[in-house]
Amino acid sequence: MSNRSGPSAARGSDARPLSTEMRTHTCGALRRADVGSEVSLVGWVHRRRDHGGVFFVDLRDRYGITQVVTRPEAADAEPARTLGGLHPEDVVRVRGTVQPRPDGMINRERATGEIEVLAREAERLAPAETPPFVIDDETTAGEDLRLEYRYLDLRRPPLQRVLALRHRAAMATRDYLDAHGFLEIETPMLVRPTPEGARDYLVPSREHPGRFYALPQSPQLYKQILMVAGFDRYFQLARCLRDEDLRADRQPEHTQIDLEMSFIGEEDVYALIEGLMSRIFADALGIEIETPFPRLAYDDCMDRYGSDKPDLRAGLEIRDVTATLQGCEFRLFADAAAQGLRVKGLRIPGGAALSRKASDALEAQVQLAGAKGLARAKVRGEALEGGFAKHLDPQRTRRLLSELEAADGDLIGLVVAERMTANRALGRLRARLIAEQAAAQEATDYRFLWVRHFPLFEREEGSERIAPAHHMFTMPLAEDLDRLERDPLAVRAQLYDLVLNGVELGSGSIRIHRRDIQERVMRVVGLDAAAAEKRFGFLLRAFQFGAPPHGGIALGLDRLVMLLAGSASIRDAIAFPKTTSALSLMDGAPGAADARDLADLRIRTLEEPAADGGAPD
């Protein structure tokens, strides 16, 4: 929950003069108090209007818009000729006098709306071709076109506001962590390839043919080394690069608020990050958020919400109703427990009014998650109607309605499946319902959640191999250490995620700081002593020289800014993003390498690049 304590529109440097050799004020700085001042403004032509020889030009920069006007009697004068010949996006310099607008022409929606600048001189600094789309708050241009002309898209005020918001979040982060004793330390961008959660981007070495650097997926090992080195508290706004499949909240290169601390436990991380979020939301949006954030163990989170990153704004908890329905006349429910299955349910608010087609679409959601179907019944008063309702006696019906907190007009959906399958199926349905309600959510309703005690290991899909659920440097819970070799899938980790409104903002853990425990974990995932030494010998050797207990977290700055801005795409929070196929449409990256460069690197390609030198279709 949150409440707004102050507007964000006035934050930042928008009202400063920021004078230079070419300007005295920005286009967002002038107010009624400046009437009579001689000023010089520079910017882009946002709009031009001709009112019978009197020209009005809206001059725009990233700080705002100021209206420039010519005198009615000066239609043939130089300023009028220049302003009259301007086109959208021309770059212009104007000198003139600030004057008040007539009462009937004041623009209350614009910070500079009480004044205008009467032009005395005007100079076109650079002409502009007609842009491929309108530079304004709203545009109908497709995303590919806007990414191709990203420099024009970035002129639009909404994107400029998002990047200004990102700046304020970054500055708040630096100020807060500096005040808490952290040092900002950079880690390498050319690192040794190591197995992590995604494929590495590889960089060939010219000096060492046949050898490769990797671009860092995260600074994980280096920040642990910094703790061994005694720096105690480290952070950086770290660039991370991962060759993975993309989606709306994922990019091949992104920025993390990355930090690590020595001699701490989970509670220390929670307290620090809750304070950081409070500072960022206050500085960036003028919003006060409630702390401490609620916490849930992974198993409880999956049982209640069917997801490890649930959106808490809508409630809608999944309930286990196996015991309530055991022994009823409907065999599917009655025999579930005996077959090792669970009956789990979710209420669908207002779902009794759904058409059959819409109701069937809900069933399709749970089937996509592995459930065989969705048993449904409508709530009518204190009774159920349709579907399985006829198989339940009044007493079971009342208990079921109570457990699901269902009300008149709701629809009840039940899934019979193995526990985690039922959880994920109803979790997918719940996410669909919340997505449909998202437009009605309060814009400043921010619900944080700590999810913790994740499994340390998982079985790879389609394989018997055991792999780290997150990464192999996370300390197991103390009470689970003796299970490492005999029952690894039951081992829980000192691993925690920060979730906001259904989005995973970041993940962290208390790290392994002892060589013997680290080697045990590596053996579980199939790394013998030789392989562990080859890949991670430098880390294991460091642990032999007195490594402090330590832990930390990495928060996605791009995702955080996306949520602060109320955007649906992480690309809005990044100045120069890639497409979902990892292409940069503006500059054509990735492109073909020069044959001489490839020869220097001893590299020969197996496929010919596209004829234009850009990425293949």
For residue range 117-137, what is the model confidence (pLDDT) as tens digits?
999 999 999 999 999 999 999
Model confidence band, residue 3 (pLDDT cutoffs 50, 70, 90):
very low
Residue 13: per-residue pLDDT: 44
Model confidence band, residue 52 (pLDDT cutoffs 50, 70, 90):
confident
Residue 9: per-residue pLDDT: 39
φ and ψ of 22, to 5 deg: -100, -15
Q: What gap in Å lies between CA 89 and CA 46, rounded to an integer? A: 6
Check whether 1 has a pLDDT greater than 50: no
Q: What gap in Å lies between CA 213 and CA 194, rounded to an integer? A: 10
Residue 617: per-residue pLDDT: 39
Query: Mean pLDDT, to the nearest integer, of 477-505?
Result: 96
Residue 10: per-residue pLDDT: 37
**Mean pLDDT of the residues in the chain:** 91
Residue 397 has which token pair? 């019906």
Give the torsion through C-alpha atoms of 528, 529, 531, 536, to 10 deg.
Answer: 120
57 contacts: CB under 8 Å, gap ≥ 6: 45, 47, 48, 49, 67, 68, 69, 83, 86, 92, 94
Distance of CA 36 to the CA centre of its chain: 47
Query: Mean pLDDT, to the nearest integer, of 276-290?
Result: 96
Check whether 44 has a pLDDT greater than 80: yes
Model confidence band, residue 53 (pLDDT cutoffs 50, 70, 90):
confident
Residue 125's nearest CA partner among 205, 40, 208, 191 is: 40
Query: Mean pLDDT, to the nearest integer, of 528-535?
Result: 93
Tell me the pTM. 0.91
Residue 48's nearest CA partner among 69, 18, 71, 31 is: 69
Model confidence band, residue 610 (pLDDT cutoffs 50, 70, 90):
low
Model confidence band, residue 499 (pLDDT cutoffs 50, 70, 90):
very high
Q: Cis omega (within 30 of 0) on the bond before 7?
A: no
Check whether 369 has a pLDDT greater than 80: yes
Model confidence band, residue 608 (pLDDT cutoffs 50, 70, 90):
low
Query: Mean pLDDT, to the nearest integer, of 20-27?
Result: 95
Instruction: Please tell me which residue, 450 or 606, carries the higher pLDDT value.
Output: 450
Contact 454, 298 (CB under 8 A): yes
Contact 135, 152 (CB under 8 A): yes
Instruction: Please tell me which residue, 395 or 314, carries the higher pLDDT value.
Output: 395
pLDDT digits (tens, 9 = 90+) for 285-308: 999 999 999 999 999 999 999 999
Q: Calculate the alpha carbon distances from 192 to 147, 189, 270 in Å.
A: 33, 10, 31
Q: What gap in Å lies between CA 82 and CA 59, rounded to an integer? A: 14
Diameter over CA atoms, the chain: 94
Residue 197: per-residue pLDDT: 60
Check whether 6 has a pLDDT greater than 60: no
Report percent pLDDT > 90 for the chain.
81
Check whether 185 has a pLDDT greater than 70: yes
Residue 464: per-residue pLDDT: 83
Check whether 153 has a pLDDT greater than 70: yes
Q: What gap in Å lies between CA 32 and CA 110, rounded to an integer? A: 13
Query: Mean pLDDT, to the nearest integer, of 261-284?
Result: 97
Q: Which of 43-52, 189-198, 273-282, 429-438 has the lowest mean pLDDT?
A: 189-198
| Residue type for position 471 | H
Helix (H) or strand (E) holding 296: strand 295-297
493 C-beta neighbours (distance < 10 Å), count:
25
Residue 196: per-residue pLDDT: 54
pLDDT digits (tens, 9 = 90+) for 426-475: 999 999 998 887 655 556 789 999 999 999 999 988 788 999 998 999 99
Residue 2: per-residue pLDDT: 45
Residue 194: per-residue pLDDT: 72
Q: Which of the 8 DSSP states describes residue 104?
A: G
Check whether 210 has a pLDDT greater than 80: yes
Report percent pLDDT > 70 for the chain.
93
Residue 609's nearest CA partner among 598, 578, 202 is: 598
Query: Mean pLDDT, to the nearest integer, of 248-270?
Result: 93
Q: What gap in Å lies between CA 617 and CA 605, rounded to an integer? A: 17
Instruction: Please tell me which residue, 299 or 196, carries the higher pLDDT value.
Output: 299
Residue 391 has which token pair? 């198989």
Check whether 4 has a pLDDT greater than 70: no
Q: What gap in Å lies between CA 501 and CA 563, rounded to an integer? A: 9
Model confidence band, residue 572 (pLDDT cutoffs 50, 70, 90):
very high
